[in-house]
Amino acid sequence: MQNLWAPWRIDYILGERETYCIFCPEGDGLSDEERLILHRGRNVMVMMNKYPYNNGHLLVAPWRHLNRYEDLEDREMLDLSRWIQRCIVILRKVMRPDGFNVGLNLGVVAGAGIEDHLHQHVVPRWSGDTNFMPVLADVRSIPEHLKATYAKLLPHFKKEGAHEAL
């Protein structure tokens, strides 16, 4: 028998949840590294998903606290789109996925885990990354620790963010 090791999942399993909005700028005084933030722009931020569907699962969100897509301002919409594109470019370069799932879950019935603050998911996918585990045991296998993935991605986001006019 093989063991799957995903130590960061225990916080989720035991129900210890953040009491602040993970997408808002203040972040309860935690550092960007603690929050897994890869990029802080003027209008949007990029962070790793603490409870990923797959290795390299990123979240792109406007700083402004809103939950309706139609309430995005043009500058936020443009930055959101630009950073989704940049996330894809960086993930292709660093992790070499075969494809991506990119999307929004608007409202609880649509699957939003955090329904009060709009955010986009960018999930890299590889051929064969889905197997019987999620279907039969409701378990996902993430092959790399979050901190290792963060360290691998951060230099690329710093480089890409340096080109952004703040």
Complete domains list, the chain, with CATH: 18-161 (3.30.428.10)
pLDDT tens profile 12-68: 667 666 667 888 878 778 899 999 999 999 999 999 998 888 889 999 999 999 999
- Non-local CB neighbours of 19 within 8 Å, separated by 6+ positions: 28
119 is catalytic: yes
| Predicted structure pTM score | 0.75
List, in sequence order, the alpha helices (H) in the chain.
9-13, 32-35, 74-95, 132-137, 146-161
Query: Is the distance from CB of 52 to CB of 144 less than 8 angstroms?
Result: no
Candidates 119, 121, 156, 163; catalytic one: 119
Q: What is the rounded distance in angstroms from the CA atom of residue 98 to the CA atom of residue 89?
A: 13
Predicted confidence (pLDDT) at residue 135 exceeds the cutoff of 60: no
pLDDT tens profile 63-100: 999 999 999 999 999 999 999 999 999 999 999 999 99
Q: What is the rounded distance in angstroms from the CA atom of residue 115 to the CA atom of residue 166?
A: 28
